[in-house]
Amino acid sequence: MTKFLILWCTNLAAPFPTDSKEYKSFMDHIWASIDKRVKEGMLKDYGFFLESKAGYAIAEGTAEQVFKYVSMFAPYWTCTVHEIMPYEKGKSILKEVMTGAIECAEAAKRK
């Protein structure tokens, strides 16, 4: 499964309920959706940044699943999604790139 870092931020221009009871009900629905994804295993971690208007989530799944999930929160929250490459895989790829660059440089010197 692919992991994704989701950075979310409250869209202060969104049409949030202005009545306190309606706002609490709205947020209860949002939190229930997040709780459901945690229970299903899609969300591995979810947190708030200290300013309380933004935070992050670590999700696991396909790009299509994550796209569908973050789209549900528009226009109330904006999300930036980054696919996470595991360290060992990234290190391996960079070693290949460096080896190729060295080989090209050495070949250019021989010409």
pLDDT per position as a tens digit, 84-111 = 999 999 999 999 999 999 999 988 888 7
Q: CA-CA distance, 41 to 34, in Å (whole number)?
A: 11
Of the candidates 78, 73, 65, the one whose C-alpha atom is nearest the C-alpha of residue 31 is 73
The residue ranges of every structural domain in the chain are: 2-86
Output the CA torsion sign for 30, 36, 41, 42.
negative
> pLDDT tens digits, residue range 32-44?
999 999 999 999 9
Structure confidence at residue 110 (pLDDT): 85
Q: Does domain 2-86 bear CATH number 3.30.565.10?
A: no
Residues 20-45 have a mean pLDDT of: 97
- For the entire predicted model, the pTM comes to 0.84
Once rounded to an integer, what is the mean pLDDT over residues 23-49? 97
For the chain, give the mean pLDDT. Answer: 95
Q: How many CB atoms lie within 10 A of CB 66?
A: 22
Q: What is the Cα–Cα distance from 44 to 47, expressed in whole angstroms?
A: 10
- Reduce the DSSP state of residue 57 to 3 states and report it: strand
